């Protein structure tokens, strides 16, 4: 895979991490102070770390991180809807990273993406656990 194509993919990932961070930060503010709020805030910090790793990969390959993102869908304002939205975002990220790992031939990029993938799986599990608690 050409380096320009890798940079393009990494920039798309970078933007998705920006979007997830903003959604999670916003949701953490409006979720009443409780376990799901604290977990959402902590995961937002993880997403910011992912942005940093992706930006580093982009710059090392001669690119520049892009900050242009689409209009954000924060979901509804109730806790269940927010957790469902957050599970959806993590699931999309997991599928995206799995696909990229299978086609990118740059070992450093694949290593970072695998690490992010593992964290995204943990995030989804954390959100799903909170969702189950409020449903019961």
Alpha helices in 31-135 (DSSP H): 35-60, 79-103, 107-135
Q: What is the dihedral of CA 19, 22, 24, 28, to 10 degrees?
A: -170
Task: Please say whether the beta carbons of 75 and 105 come within 8 A.
Answer: no
What pTM, to 2 d.p., does this model score? Answer: 0.92
Q: What is the mean pLDDT of the chain?
A: 94
Output the pLDDT for position 88. 95
Task: Please say whether the beta carbons of 7 and 61 come within 8 A.
Answer: yes
Distance CA 75, CA 52 (A): 26
Break the chain into its structural domains and give their ranges: 3-135
Task: Please say whether the beta carbons of 44 and 25 come within 8 A.
Answer: yes
pLDDT tens track for 20-78: 999 999 999 888 778 888 999 999 999 999 999 999 999 999 999 998 888 888 878 88
Question: May I ask the CATH class of domain 3-135?
Answer: mainly alpha
pLDDT at 3 over 80: yes
Confidence class for position 126, pLDDT limits 50, 70, 90: very high
pLDDT, mean of residues 72-91: 90
| Residues ≥6 apart with Cβ < 8 Å to 122 | none
Output the pLDDT for position 40. 93
DSSP 8-state code for residue 31 = S
Output the pLDDT for position 96. 98
pLDDT, mean of residues 110-130: 97
């Amino acid at each position: 895979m050409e380096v320009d194509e890798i940079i393009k993919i990494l920039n798309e990932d970078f933007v998705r991490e920006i979007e997830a961070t903003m959604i999670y930060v916003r949701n953490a503010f409006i979720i009443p102070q409780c376990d799901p709020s604290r977990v959402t805030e902590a995961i937002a910090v993880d997403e910011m770390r992912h942005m940093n790793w992706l930006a580093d990969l982009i710059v090392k390959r001669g690119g520049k991180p892009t900050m242009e993102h689409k209009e954000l869908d924060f979901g509804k304002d109730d806790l269940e809807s927010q957790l469902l939205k957050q599970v959806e975002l993590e699931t999309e990220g997991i599928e995206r990273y799995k696909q990229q790992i299978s086609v990118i031939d740059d070992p450093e990029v694949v290593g970072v993406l695998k690490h992010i993938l593992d964290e995204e799986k943990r995030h989804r599990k954390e959100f799903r656990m909170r969702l189950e608690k409020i449903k019961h």
